[in-house]
Amino acid sequence: MHADVPPVALAFWRWAGASLLVICIARPHLRRDWNLIRSNWPILLLLSFVGVTAFNTLVYAGLQWTMALNAFLMQSMMPVLIVAMSFVLFREKIKVLQAAGVVVSLTGAFIIIMHGDVNALRSMSINRGDILIFIAVVCYAGYSVTLHKRPAIHPFSFLAVTFLVGSLLLLPVYLWETFAVRAIVFNRPTLLAVGYVAIFPSIVSYLCFNRGVELVGANRAGLFMHLMPVFGSFMAITFLGESLQWFHIAGFALIALGIFLATRGNL
């Protein structure tokens, strides 16, 4: 939908729509958690900015200028950045099997993204879209490792606060884009696109990811980001008629092995 929906508009209406839906569910939890929310506003503001305002907006903007290959390669670096930031910011130790799992899984993701052709790297060039997406990846890695500092409030309260604050932080940029660049045209396709990203990649995905980080930590949870090219390949095969190739199978196997290594043992 990048040709039909401006990037900031897509991000703004995604989070504004998700906020309205979540607040309807979270109202009793928000009343109960309000004192904790007020006393922990700095960390909530930080998480809102890096995880909601910045990440998706920068990705959507970056995709206006770069190829999907570049974007996938940079997003596949997220588990590596999460492990590095966990160590630098919170001195979380990196286990041997965990490091090995990240490397093996990253190799599998690269094989799928590049279709098994290492020469694809030679044709890549860096542009402003790549820079925006790299900054977005750093922001989401920071969001992931900082999640364990969030206050002990209900998951729906956390979503409601971060989504709403993230939307409000985006509002000035959205107004600038609307009046100085181009405005979103609301029609059936754009409404369906906004509705989809408001419900599934926003509410469902963030609810599950936040809980996953809470249960297994950011380092393990981040590794599952390498499943994005796996699911993308399956969807391309299922819906777009692409054929299953050797690099799909090799990549799937390496990603599965990497996740297995990183989630097993205490070494």
- Residue that has been written with the tokens 């600038």 in this structure: 176
* Distance of alpha carbon 256 from alpha carbon 101, whole angstroms: 9
Mean of per-residue pLDDT scores for the chain: 90
pLDDT band for position 67 (cuts 50, 70, 90):
confident
Residue listed under structure tokens 């897509």:
10
265 pLDDT exceeds 80?
no
| Residue-level pLDDT at 65 | 86
pLDDT band, residue 124 (cuts 50/70/90): low
| pLDDT at residue 245 in the model | 86
Q: 264 falls in which pLDDT band (50, 70, 90)?
A: confident
Does residue 254 carry a pLDDT above 80?
yes
3-state helix, strand, coil in the chain (%, to 5): 80, 0, 20
Q: What is the pLDDT of residues 35-47, one digit of tens each?
A: 999 999 999 999 9
**CA 139: distance to chain centroid?**
9
Distance CA 59, CA 68 (A): 11
pLDDT attached to residue 157: 97
Residue 2 has pLDDT above 60, yes or no: yes
Query: What's the pLDDT band for 18 if we cut at 50, 70, 90?
Result: very high
Task: Report which of residues 170 and 72 the model is more confident about.
Answer: 170
Compute the chain's Rg from CA coordinates: 19
Length of the chain: 267
The C-alpha atoms of residue 141 and residue 82 are separated, in whole angstroms, by 5
* DSSP assignment of 140-205: HHHHHHHGGGS-S--HHHHHHHHHHHHHHHHHHHHHHIIIII-----SHHHHHHHHHHHIIIIIIH
Identity at 242, one-letter amino acid code? E
164 pLDDT exceeds 70? yes
| SS3 state of residue 76 | coil
DSSP string, 188-215: HHHHHHHHHHHIIIIIIHHHHHHHHHHH
Q: Are 104 and 257 in contact (CB under 8 A)?
A: yes
Nearest Cα to Cα of residue 144 among 73, 96, 216, 200:
216
Say what the pLDDT of residue 66 is. 81
Classify the C-alpha dihedral 205-211-214-220 as positive or negative: negative
Q: Which of 39-43, 73-77, 114-118, 253-257 has the highest mean pLDDT?
A: 39-43
pLDDT, tens only, 133-155: 999 999 999 999 999 999 999 99
pLDDT of residue 68: 74
pTM: 0.89
Domain spans of the chain, in order of start: 7-262
pLDDT for 198-236, tens place per residue? 999 999 999 999 999 999 899 889 889 888 888 888 888
What's the rounded Cα separation, in Å, for the pair 46 and 143?
Answer: 8
Distance CA 157, CA 30 (A): 5
